[in-house]
Amino acid sequence: MKTDITTQIKIEKVTESKLDKATLSNRKFGSTFTDHMFICTYKNGAWQMPKITPYQALQLEPSARVFHYGQAVFEGMKAYKDTDGHVWLFRPDENQKRINRSAKRLAMPEFPEELFFEGLKTLLTIDADWIPTADGNSLYVRPFMIASGNGIFAAPSEEYTFMIICSPSGKYYTKDVGVVIAEYYSRAANGGVGAAKAAGNYGAQFYPTQLAIEKGYQQVVWTDSTHEYLEEAGTMNVFFRINDTLLTAPTSERILDGVTRKSIITIAKNQGIKVEERRIKISEIKEAATNGTLKEMFGAGTAAVIVPISHFSHQNVDYEIPKIKNRYSELFKKQLTDIQYNRAEDKFGWRYKVL
C-alpha cells in the first residue's frame, strides 16, 4: 500500500528486531513496546526534524519542566490487522484533534496534523509485524507530548517533545468489573482539565482508585462537585441502560469526550435504540437498580473497548446488576470491533487504512 509520506522523516531502524512472534498474543496490556518510536522536538518556536528511531530511553535534565509542573498530555488509539494483513486505525482524526485540544489547555504547542499522520503511518508501517491478530488483541498506540525544556520556575516550557510509542496488547479486562461511586474525591472540576487527556488527571485518581481496589472493586465512577450526578470512570465513559433506553452523561469541561462513547451513541441511534445524553442522578440509578429497571451499566474507552459493570457501591451499599441476555454492551462491542478489525461494512466512514 502507498503510504503518502510527503515530509521527510529521518528513519533509523534497529539492526535486529526484538520481536518474538511466538509470544506476541495476549501480552499484558501496555507492558512491552515495539522496535521503533516516533519523536519530534519543539524549540525556538518550531517543530524540528521528525525522526523514527529504535525504541530507547530519553535523556532529560532533572530540571525538565514535565517533572515539576506536569505539562504532559497523551492519546490512546489502536491499530488492528485484518485477516488479509491490512492495517487499520479507528477514527484517528479524533485523537489528532483531541491531543491538540489537550495541549492547548496545558499551554503546550499544537502538533501539526500532517506530521501526526505521517509519523503514525510510517511508524505503523515499519512496526506492522508487531500487530497481534489473536482475538481481542491489537497494537495500542500512544502519542504523547511532554515539556522537555529545562528550568524550575513555574511557567510553560519553551521546549517540548512529541512522541508515539506502540505496545502489542491483549484484552484490558477479561471479566466484568465492580465500581465504587465517588462520594468524597473528585477527578475534575469546573474550569479544570478534566476534558483534557492530561497525565495529571490519572495521577490524581490513582489514590482513590487504590482505596476502591482495597475494598474489592476495580474502578471509581466519578461524580460532579455535589457528588449527586454520575460522570465518568476516569479511563472510560459510562453508560446505563434503563429498560431499553441508553443513558450517558453529556460531555462537559469535566468529562472527556471519548471516541468510543460517541461511536456507541451513533451505533445505538442507528440501531433504533433510544439514547439520552443528560445529567444522571445517582439516586435515579440506585432506584432503577432496586426496582429492576437498571438492565446494564458499562464503561467504554479505547483500551478496554466496552466493559460490563456487574455491581456498584454507593455509601457502602452494594447494588448488583443481573446479567441479562442480549446485552447492549455485547451488541455494541461486536459492532464496534467488527468495524475496527475490518470484518464489517464501514457504514459511518470510521476506518482509516494504514497499510
Ligand X SMILES: *Cc1c(COP(=O)(O)O)cnc(C)c1O
Sites of contact with ligand X (CB under 6 A): 76, 197, 232, 234-237, 256, 258-261, 301-302
Q: Tell me the C-alpha to C-alpha distance, in Å, between residue 106 and each of 56, 102, 137.
A: 26, 6, 32
| SS3 of residue 133 by DSSP | coil
First CA to last CA distance, the chain: 5
Query: Nearest-5° angle of CA 160, CA 31, CA 307?
Result: 100
Is the Cβ–Cβ distance between 147 and 69 less than 8 Å?
yes
Judged by beta carbon, residue 198 or residue 289, the one nearer ligand X is 198
Cell 478496554 -> residue: 304
Is the Cβ–Cβ distance between 37 and 123 less than 8 Å?
yes
Judged by beta carbon, residue 40 or residue 305, the one nearer ligand X is 305
Query: Nearest-5° angle of CA 334, CA 249, CA 176?
Result: 45
* Nearest distance in Å: CB 212, ligand X: 16
Grid cell, residue 338, equals 467488527
* Nearest distance in Å: CB 18, ligand X: 28
Judged by beta carbon, residue 36 or residue 254, the one nearer ligand X is 254
* Nearest distance in Å: CB 234, ligand X: 5
In this structure, the strands spanning 351-353 and 87-90 are antiparallel
* Nearest distance in Å: CB 154, ligand X: 25
Judged by beta carbon, residue 36 or residue 261, the one nearer ligand X is 261
Cell 535523556 -> residue: 59
Judged by beta carbon, residue 149 or residue 170, the one nearer ligand X is 170
Grid cell, residue 351, equals 476506518
Is the Cβ–Cβ distance between 241 and 288 less than 8 Å?
no
Q: Count CB atoms within 10 A of the CB of residue 125.
A: 15
Sign of CA dihedral 195, 197, 200, 206: positive
Judged by beta carbon, residue 294 or residue 306, the one nearer ligand X is 306
Judged by beta carbon, residue 218 or residue 235, the one nearer ligand X is 235
Q: Which of 8, 169, 10, 20 is nearest to 81 (CA)?
A: 169
* Nearest distance in Å: CB 11, ligand X: 29
Q: Count CB atoms within 10 A of the CB of residue 15.
A: 6
User: In angstroms, rounded to a whole number, what is the distance separating the alpha carbons of residues 247 and 268?
Assistant: 11
* Nearest distance in Å: CB 159, ligand X: 25
* Amino acid code (one letter) for 51: K
Judged by beta carbon, residue 65 or residue 197, the one nearer ligand X is 197
Judged by beta carbon, residue 119 or residue 301, the one nearer ligand X is 301
* Amino acid code (one letter) for 107: A
* Nearest distance in Å: CB 277, ligand X: 15
| SS3 of residue 314 by DSSP | strand
* Nearest distance in Å: CB 258, ligand X: 3
* Nearest distance in Å: CB 51, ligand X: 27
